[in-house]
Every structure is written in C-alpha cells, then in structure tokens.
Structure 1
Amino acid sequence: MSTQQSPPDSLAGSAFLRACRRQPVPHTPVWFMRQAGRALPEYRALREGTGMLESCFRPDMVTEITLQPVRRFGVDAAILFSDIVVPLKAVGVDLDIVAGVGPVMAQPFRTTADLPPRLEGVPQVTQAVQQLVGELGTTPLIGFAGAPFTLASYLVEGGPSKDQRRTKALMYGDPVLWHVLMERLADITLAFLRVQADAGASAVQLFDSWVGVLPAQDYRTYVQPHSARILAGVGESHPDVPRIHFGVGTGSTPTQESNSWTAEAPASA
C-alpha cells in the first residue's frame, strides 16, 4: 500500500478516502447510511407524489437527493440514493416497494425457473453517478448494493420478514438450490457495483440488512463465499476503489470471525 499522502483539498486527500487507505486523518470521517432520506424536509418535498423505485431510476432525482445531506450537514462522503432491490428491478423482477411494508415480490422464488436474469447494465444509475461525481468535487461518492443474503430473503419470503423462516427452510432444506440462487444474486450484485465504480464512484458498499439473523457458522457456510466473491470481484476490476462490507445486527460476532464478516475488503466502516 502506498504511503504517499494526497493533498487534503483533493478527492484522494479527503478524510474518508484517507481513512479507507488507513492513512492519518485530520478528523474521524462521518457519513450516515440513510443520510439522504425522510429526515430531510427537502427530500420529502422532492419525493412527494413519486414512488421510491421510480425515484431510484430518475437520474436527476437521484443526484439531487444524494446531494441534499452533503449540502445541509457537510458530511465527509455522499452515498448514492438507491434501494437494496434496485438491481432486481433492473433485471425485470416484478416487485414494488409498498409504503409501510417494504419490498414486495409478485412471485416469490421457489425453483430455478424463478432465477432472476443477469444484469447487463443500468444506464439510469450510470448517468446519476456521473452527474454526482461532477457535482461533488472533492467529496467522495459511495456506491451501494444489497448483499446476496438480503436479496435472497426478499425473493424467497416475498417481502420483509423478521424471522426469515422460508429463507432458512430453503437454505437448510435444499442447499444446492440455495447456492444456485446466491451465485446468481452475487453475479447481479457484482455487476451493479461495477456499474457504479465504472461511472466514477470513489468507494462501494455491500449492505446486508438481514444477515444478523444467522449464527457465524451458518454465515460462513451459506453466505460468506458469495459476499466474498463480490468484494474480490470489485477489487480485481477496480483495485483502487475501497470496498465496505456492512451487516446489520452483526456486532456480537466473535472477534475471531471478523475476517469472515469483512471478506477481506481493504476498508470497512
């Protein structure tokens, strides 16, 4: 790893990217996963009358919403306004985000016939990222994608679930089909993160909303290889783009498991 220091007033010299490279920082960089959202009155005004998924596929709206918390709070990084299920929608999965409920699938996953297609590209996201890079200047942009386990849970459950009962039933009862699904979702997620990195995102994050329901051993067996492949794939195609791996509810994971959770990403937050 290079020890050369970048000017503090440059993108590479930002506190966030310096922290990703494990270099000294002038202050602890701060950003919030949901910093662009309902807490902001300007967000609510802009989103009025526009559905969540529609918002995620409108480049000008994505750009404005992503910029709002940067303007208001001066956070150290912007994170792309998106949703975990955007890549599924992009490949043609029939789903919607229902107010007060969350993502709901028209047809839950049951067999290989229900496998989503591979992702070829998302021009709306490419345009939004390019616009944001031009607007943000020396503020880094973090790209974003949901991890395969969380995507699988929505597909299998048909919507949000607190206990992931159907997901676990598939995982334990038919591990071959489970891994086929996870491999396809890993392909989609890797392609989605590469779209963002290609367009100029400074870093990317793999976000796992539901993985905290699993014990560490099940995570290593059923999930970690697929998430690790995504992070490694981004590293191969974009070696200078830091990768962040975050799972909700994983704080109690024993220290000796930390390498499994980070999947050897060069930076974590």
Structure 2
Amino acid sequence: MHDEGANKTPRGSQWTSRIRRGLERQWLQGVAAIAGIVATALALAALLSGGTGNSTTVGPSPRPMPTTEGQPAKPAVSAESSPTGAPSRSPDGGGGPTILPSAGKASPQPRTNGPTNRPRSVPLTALPVETVTGAWSTDADSMSAKVYCNETPTRIYRLGGKYAELSGFAGVDEDSPTSEELKFEVSVDGEVLFTGHIGQAASAPIRVDTRGGDRLALTVSKCVDGSYGVGTYVDMRLSE
C-alpha cells in the first residue's frame, strides 16, 4: 500500500514554491514601476524648475523716455552747463571766463544826448505864399519867374520871426531867351539884404540873416527892353 500523504507533500511544496516565485516576481515588478514613477516625477520637477540652479535673474527692462511726436528731443542739461550770457570756463581750464552772447537780443545802440550841431531847416517852397505878382512856376526845390522889361515878379512869405537864416542860389538858365542880366533881390520887412545881377547860365549863392523877420520878399527884374528872361531861385531853405 502506498502512503497518499507522502505523495501529496512534494506536490504541495511545488505549488507553494511557484506561488512564492510569482509573488516575488510581482513585487519586483511593482518596485520597478514605483521607481520608474519616481524618476519620471523627478525629471518633470527638474523641467518645471527651469534649471534654477544655473539661471540668471533678469530684471524689468528700463522704461523709454517719453518723446513728443514731430518735435526734436530736448538736450539734457548737465550740471556744468552755464546759461546763455553767463560766464563759463574753457574745457582746458585756461584763459579767463568766456561770455556767451545772448541769443535774439540786439546790441544796445549808443544814445545821443543833447541837441545836434545842425539846425533844423525847411524848404521855402513848403511855406504858404502870402502874396504873388507876375508869372511864376514852381516845383519841389525851385521858383522861376518869367520877366519882361520894367516888370518885377514878386513872392512874399510870412515868417513870423521863427527863422534865423535863409540860404540858397539865384541864377539864369542857359536856355533863357535873353542873354542880358537879370536883377535878383531878397528883402526882409522891406530891407534889401541881397542884390545880384546875374547873366545867362550863371548863378550866385544867397545867405541872409532873417532873425526876428516877419515878411520875406523875393523879386526878379529886367531893365533892357526886348525878349523876356527867366530867373530862378533854387534850393531856398529857412533854418531855425
């Protein structure tokens, strides 16, 4: 007879060994899986940290200075700049202070104090004529009389004692129809102060004292019978 218990014991041991080996294999596989999960987690953590151990901290970028569109940027003013017109020293430190000119300001002009040496004068033709006899023609600086024999064209002006001197010229134009002399007279208040006998294409200066005078008279006359003559007073001026 065979002992059944003796036959079953080895078979049970074989199954037990198989089960133990299977469990050990499963445990090793589990440990490997856990190790793989941990390694993956560590790699992800390293990626997310961005390598902080070797990274350099980057600060915010500087803000740009505001500028006005269409306008030039204003130059910066340093502490060494001096305002316009203020003294500043040359870069090499030598020499004296350099005065910068003021921009946009004209240099002051010297002032003239007191009266000038030249008296104020007015042209005689600017004064109104009080009395006129004979044929006269005038322009801005001359008065011409057309005169026949025994005629005395006359012009009288009212001075009112305002003027000190009368100056100018008397003459006969070279185109005058007669070649004889003409007589010119200048009088103040009836007193003759100038007399000139002047021939064709000739002239004479006039300068008379009119201080305190009221009436000024200019005349031209011709004594020889014949064609008429033309006598002219030129650039006659009154000075105060």
| Range class of TM-score, shorter chain | under 0.3
TM-score, normalised to structure 1, is 0.23
Higher strand share: 2
Which of the two has greater helix per residue? 1
Q: Under a length normalisation based on structure 2, what TM-score does the superposition of the two structures give? A: 0.25
